Structures are given as C-alpha cells and as structure tokens.
Amino acid sequence: MFIFVILYDFFLLEKGLMMNQKLISVGELAEALNVPKSWVYSRSRKSGPKSMPKLKVGKYVRFRIDDVIEWIEEQGVREKES
C-alpha cells in the first residue's frame, strides 16, 4: 500500500493535480492506478451505493482521483471483514 501511495502522489504531482483536484478521464485514471482502461470501464458501469465514485459530464464519465482511492481502500476493508 505504501508504494501505491508514493506512486499516486508522484502521478498527481506530475499531472499538476496535487493542489487542485480536477476531474480526470478513464484513460488518466487507468494510468494513475496502473490498470487497463477496461477495468475502469467495467467498474464505472456499475451503480449503487458501493459503486465506484464517478461523475457524468454529458456523455462522458469523469473521476476525482481522491474519491476513487478512498473507494478502493474501502473495498479492501470489506474483503478483509468478509
């Protein structure tokens, strides 16, 4: 987890997102998380209270990286509790 946080902070700093939390695209999120775009698309299609946090901007899906990181961490906690 520690390595992920360092990589996440580096990505934010590199993209200029550290101070200003902007909305990012599927591709940018996939790059930040080091996962395929298909993984992001499959999680973002789900709806409900436990779904990946996303925003619709017209026909586009956008994300706040901090919200997604928090969601991922919550998923890990739920798996350990099960």
Q: What percent of the chain has pLDDT over 70?
A: 67
Q: Is the pLDDT of residue 23 over 80?
A: yes
pLDDT of the residue at 71:
92
Residue ranges of alpha helices (H) inside the chain are: 2-15, 26-33, 37-45, 65-81
Q: Are 14 and 47 in contact (CB under 8 A)?
A: no
In the chain, the number of structural domains is 1
For range 63-78, the mean pLDDT: 86
Domain of residue 46, residue span: 2-81
Q: Is the pLDDT of residue 32 over 80?
A: yes
Termini Cα distance of the chain: 20
Mean pLDDT rounded to a whole number for the chain: 79
Q: Is the pLDDT of residue 1 over 50?
A: no
Alpha-carbon distance 60 to 77, whole Å?
Answer: 30
Which are the contacts of 16, defined by CB distance < 8 A and separation ≥ 6?
none
